[in-house]
Amino acid sequence: MRGNWNGWLLLSLLLMVLPGCGGAASNAKKTGDVTQVTESTRISDVIGDPLFGDFGRLLFPVDSGYWGGDALGSLSLAWYSHIRPARTVGIVNALREQASAGNRIFYRIYSDEEMRADPRKSDTGLFFFRGRGGSKFAVCNAGGGFVYVGAMHDSFPHAQELSKRGYNAFALIYRPGAGTACEDLARAIVFIHEHAEELGVDVRDYSLWGGSAGARMAAWLGARGTGAFGEKGCPRPAVVVMQYTGLSEVTGDEPPTYGCVGTDDGIASYRTMQERTRRIRAQGTDAEIEVFDGLPHGFGLGEGTVAEGWLDRAVAFWERQMR
Residue 31's pLDDT is 43
CA 189 – CA 207 distance, rounded (Å): 10
CA diameter of the chain? 90
CA 79 to chain centre: 16
Distance from C-alpha of 83 to C-alpha of 55, rounded to nearest angstrom: 22
Instruction: Please provide residue 38's backbone torsions phi and psi, each rounded to the nearest 5 degrees.
Output: -130, 180
Instruction: Share the mean pLDDT of the chain.
Output: 91
* Angstrom distances, CA of residue 1 to CA of 5, 6, 11, 323: 6, 9, 15, 82
CB 240 within 8 A of CB 218: yes
| pLDDT at residue 104 in the model | 97
Q: Whole-model pTM above 0.85?
A: yes
> Percentage of residues in the chain with pLDDT exceeding 90?
88
Dist CA 242 CA 245 (whole Å): 7
- The pLDDT score that the predictor gives to residue 19 is 35
CA 33 to centroid of chain Cα atoms: 26
Contact between 47 and 56 (Cβ < 8 Å): yes
> CB neighbours of 10 closer than 8 A, spacing ≥ 6?
none
Domains of the chain: 105-321 (3.40.50.1820)
At residue 34, the pLDDT reads 67
Alpha helices in 250-300 (DSSP H): 270-282
Reported as a single tens digit per residue, the pLDDT across 1-19 is 434 434 433 334 333 333 3
Q: What is the pLDDT of residues 32-55, one digit of tens each?
A: 456 899 999 999 999 999 999 999
The total of other beta-carbon atoms located within 10 Å of residue 225's CB is 18
Residues 195-209 have pLDDT tens digits of: 999 999 999 999 999
Would you say 290 and 259 are in contact if contact means Cβ atoms under 8 Å apart?
yes
Per-residue confidence of the chain (323 residues) as pLDDT tens digits? Answer: 434 434 433 334 333 333 333 445 444 454 445 689 999 999 999 999 999 999 999 999 998 899 999 999 999 999 998 999 999 999 999 999 999 999 999 999 999 999 999 999 999 999 999 999 999 999 999 999 999 999 999 999 999 999 999 999 999 999 999 999 999 999 999 999 999 999 999 999 999 999 999 999 999 999 999 999 999 999 999 999 999 999 999 999 999 999 999 999 999 999 999 999 999 999 999 999 999 999 999 999 999 999 999 999 999 999 999 98
d(CA 172, CA 143): 11
**pLDDT, tens only, 276-292:** 999 999 999 999 999 99
Using alpha carbons, select from 217, 312, 225 the residue that is nearest to residue 260. 312
Q: Cα–Cα distance between 13 and 153 in angstroms, integer? A: 38
Helices (H), the chain: 2-17, 43-47, 85-100, 112-117, 151-154, 156-164, 178-194, 196-199, 213-224, 270-282, 310-321
